[in-house]
Amino acid sequence: MRKLFHYLKRHTLLLIICFALLFGQAMCDLSLPSLMSEIVNVGIQQGGISESAPKAIGADAMKLITTFMTKEEKQRVDSSYVLIPSGSSQSEKYEGKYPAVKTEDIYILENGKEDDALGTAFGRAAMTLLYFMKESAPQSSQASSPDFKQGLAEVDMAPLYEIQPMLSQMPYASFEGARNAAQKLDSSLVSQVSIVMVKQYYNELGVDTSGIRMRYILLIGARMLILTLAGAVAIILVSLIASRIAADVAKRMRRGVFSKVESFSNAEFDRFSTASLITRTTNDITQVQMLLVMGIRMICYAPIMGVGGIIMAVSKSPSMSWIIATALIVLVSLMLIIFAIAMPKFKLVQKMVDKLNLVTREHLSGMMVIRAFGTQRFEENRFDKANRELTGIHLYVNRVMVIMMPVMSFIMSGVSLLIVWVGAHQIEASTIQIGDMVAFTQYAMQIIISFLIIAVMFIMVPRAAVSALRIQEVLDIQPTILDPESPQTPAEHPQGRVEFKNVCFRYEGAEDYVLHNISFVAQPGETTAFIGSTGSGKSTLVNLIPRFYDVTEGAILIDGIDIRNYTQHDLHELIGFVPQKGILFSGDIASNLRYGRSEATSEEIALAAEIAQAGEFISTSADGMNSPISQGGSNVSGGQKQRLAIARALVKNSPINIFDDGFSALDFKTDSALRKALKEHTVKSTVLIVAQRVGTIMNADQIIVLDEGKLVGVGTHRELLKSCLTYREIASSQLTKEELE
């Protein structure tokens, strides 16, 4: 994953913006349950009145309620309220808001004087009044005594105002018991009582309390709508930014892998199968891209929501926090068990994808052979086996993971039920309000969902981590063939003289050498041919010249300079190469012939095609040089493909031309005509030919005979027939007695 962070480095600012947006979205989402709680508690239950100390109160009500206050509380109230006499000039500006000021004196709370202590004073005074009337009601003979069982909201205060003068004359000790009982009450209950009384005061002043309720609900509702829209905007922006970051990282990662693979020598290619490299470039990078898209969105958001939800839930009701703790313990235990079972299988998925791609690629590329040998059923079974193995792993993982959802649903339902059951008892005991229980339930769901998101990310992260590791394996490979720090440049007009000096070579990890002490010189203007039995090292030898492999011992020189002192680009510019297997690229004939030299003119590619004996079939094609070539040249024959590969090398017009068994698919007539035209065209070039047929190389200026990686003969055809037993055996197997003589 180290490389992944390297690719993310350039997006640091965008990641910070995403984190800020996600934090903002989380805050919006965490605020919604609290606002819903306020609608239930304040908007519905309290009629939209949130203040526990009235902003205005009638003079009679003030006299009554202060009667049951302590001396300190009375002083606080007196210093906080201003008397507005009825009919005074001051009363006019309050008539619209408090209509009762027209007929009675009222007290107005001065700005900035409201605080919790003031609200507590009104609340405790109201509860003291309540307890006092309950104590005195059974002994009272006054029929006008209020029925407190109906609750404070339904109390008729008029009879109390009538007896207020009598209450004010009573000794302070008369209220001591009621005041002590009120002092023992929970502050939240005192606050609720105070708010209920405030509503009573407002009703007496003619205030439209229904309007207050509606305005409060609409205001909180508008805030919830704004927060919801803000959260939606944050989601959209984060999704867009995350998608752009993931797409850019995937693009640069694919480019990095592709560039790295381009720098591989054959030694590096031997470490990876083609199917594996394709999977790493496509499927593995897609896994990392998906992780980034989901991870940027969820990995930051879920922890914020989880931690924030716990803090908010505990603040709403600390007494029910054990419910969330129990749910999280069960949830985390379940996640750990599931991951312990499923994680080992995730590591096998990508290997199975590699295997399936390998079988599919071999099946498609070898379709003609499969049909020729009638092994369709065998290949179907082979594919089915790989497919079933991959499917089996996916099903196993999915079966384990599918358990999570019903268990999560059960946990969420159980938590909701438990919160309602416990919350109902606490509401009955007046320790929490209904809105707080609703908010607590929503926070609990947010917490559980956050942990579920984290669980899903833990499912994605291991698989993406495996993919990232596989990508990193490719990116971390240091090619064995590197350009020199101080390269030498070829001469302006290179000759192309090739010299092998005591060259030895063995493949990486092999114990035995493939080539042993090979020494020879290939002169410009001459043709040097290589022949030998299968596995004698012919192709390996010519592959050393363009540094597809580096020599193990010895040196190869071009124009007297060790090829390891050239940059690979300069070295390859000196060489026109025809591989053992002719490879063409999708496009048309002209684009393939210009592959080595894009600036080649139409006349030059036409001449190269004529020399390669490809002119006839090109001219007979409907579109000539513009005739399409499908992927790999599958729409042309083997001989046509080989001739186009030869023409492509000739267009490059290099001082050295290497033909690695490049005439094997040609008939004898075409072979002879091509060699004759080639000799005329490459009169100044060094030509190196690997061949299996003696007839292809018998006119070469120099023939090098290899046997089990050793040079056993050097000379012309006639010289080798006399001096080299190995060459004579090869020639005897291919030529008639007359041709040998």
- Phi/psi class of residue 695: alpha, beta or left (left: φ > 0; alpha: ψ in -120 to 50)? alpha
Given a contact cutoff of 8 angstroms between Cβ atoms, the answer to whether 502 and 554 are in contact is: yes
**Domain's final residue, options 653, 669, 688:** 653
Beta bridge partners of 711: 706
pLDDT at 155: 61
CA distance 140 to 174: 15
- Residue 428, judged by CB atoms within 10 A of its CB (0-12, 13-18, 19+), counts as exposed
Q: Which residues pair with 660 in a beta bridge?
A: 690
Same domain assignment for residues 347 and 459: yes
Q: Which of 318, 324, 234 is nearest to 20 (CA)?
A: 234
Q: Is residue 567 domain-shared with residue 608, that is, in the same domain? A: no
Question: What count of Cα atoms within 13 Å lies in the side-chain half-sphere of residue 223?
Answer: 14
Q: Give the pLDDT score at 404.
A: 74
Q: Is the pLDDT assigned to residue 320 strictly greater than 80?
A: yes
Beta bridge partners of 81: 109
Q: Is residue 740 part of a domain?
A: yes
Least confident interval from 68-82, 422-436, 534-548: 422-436
| pLDDT at site 534 | 84
Indicate whether 233 pLDDT > 90.
yes
Question: Is pLDDT above 70 for 430?
Answer: no
Whole-number Å distance between alpha carbons of 708 and 720? 18
- pLDDT value of position 497: 93
- Give the mean model confidence (pLDDT) for residues 384-408: 81
In a domain, 100, yes or no: no
Which candidate, 24, 510, 499, places its Cα nearest to that of 267?
510
Q: Residue 738: is its pLDDT beyond 90?
A: no
- Give pLDDT, residue 2: 62
Do 540 and 412 fall within a single domain?
no
Residue 202 is encoded by which pair of tokens? 């407002």
Q: Are 227 and 28 in contact (CB under 8 A)?
A: yes
Whether residues 385 and 417 fall in one domain: yes
Asked if residue 378 and residue 294 are part of one domain, the reply reads yes
pLDDT band, residue 347 (cuts 50/70/90): low
Would the pLDDT of 451 be above 50? yes
Higher per-residue confidence, 604 vs 370: 604
Tokens representing 176 are 């001591």
Structure-token match 């009120």, residue found: 182
Average pLDDT, the chain: 84
Last residue of a domain, one of 596, 621, 653: 653
Same domain, 388 and 273: yes
Helix, coil or strand: residue 497: coil
Q: Tens digit of pLDDT for each residue in 156-172?
A: 677 778 888 888 888 87
Instruction: Tell me the two tokens of residue 483.
Output: 């350009």
In a domain, 620, yes or no: yes
Region of residue 318 (left: phi > 0; alpha: psi -120 to 50; beta: else):
alpha
Residue 238 forms part of a structural domain: no
Which pairs from 365-373 meet CB under 8 Å and 24+ separation? 365/632
Same domain, 278 and 320: yes
Poorest-pLDDT segment among 394-403, 482-491, 583-592, 696-705: 394-403
pLDDT digits (tens, 9 = 90+) for 180-225: 887 877 777 777 788 888 888 888 888 888 888 898 899 999 999 9
* Residue 126's pLDDT band (cuts 50, 70, 90): confident
CA count, 13 A, side-chain hemisphere, 557: 13
More confident residue, 141 or 276: 276
pLDDT at 741: 61
Kindly state whether residues 308 and 449 are assigned to the same domain.
yes
Q: Which residue among 599, 619, 653 closes a domain?
A: 653
> 282 in a domain, yes or no?
yes
Is residue 18 in some structural domain?
no
Please give the residue range of the domain that contains residue 395: 253-475
CATH number at residue 672: 3.40.50.300
User: Is the pLDDT confidence value at 340 over 80?
Assistant: no
pLDDT at residue number 141: 40
* CA within 13 Å, CB half, 510: 11
Could you tell me if 516 and 449 lie in one domain? no
Residue 726 within a domain: yes
What's the number of domains the chain is made of?
A: 3
Whole-angstrom distance between the N-terminal and C-terminal Cα of the chain? 69
Q: 472 vs 564, which has greater pLDDT?
A: 564
pLDDT of res. 145: 38
- Number of neighbours of residue 138 by Cβ within 10 angstroms: 7
- The structure tokens listed for 96 are 């619209």
Q: And the tokens for 279? A: 């999977």
CATH of the domain at 294: 1.20.1560.10
Same domain for 413 and 269:
yes
What gap in Å lies between CA 468 and CA 257, rounded to an integer? 12
Query: Range with the lowest mean pLDDT among 144-148, 181-185, 299-303, 437-441?
Result: 144-148
Give the pLDDT score at 140.
Answer: 43
Question: Are 339 and 445 in a shared domain?
Answer: yes
Amino acid at 11: H
pLDDT (0 to 100) of residue 632: 76
Asked whether residue 175 is assigned to any structural domain, the reply reads no
The rounded distance, in Å, linking the Cα atoms of 121 and 54 is 11
Q: Is the pLDDT of residue 643 over 90?
A: no
Do 646 and 669 fall into the same domain? no
Q: How confident is the model at residue 142 (pLDDT cuts 50, 70, 90)?
A: very low
**Average pLDDT of the segment spanning 74-80:** 89
- The region of weakest confidence among 247-251, 402-406, 522-526, 693-697 is 402-406
* Beta-carbon count within 10 A of 729 CB: 11
- At residue 226, the pLDDT reads 94
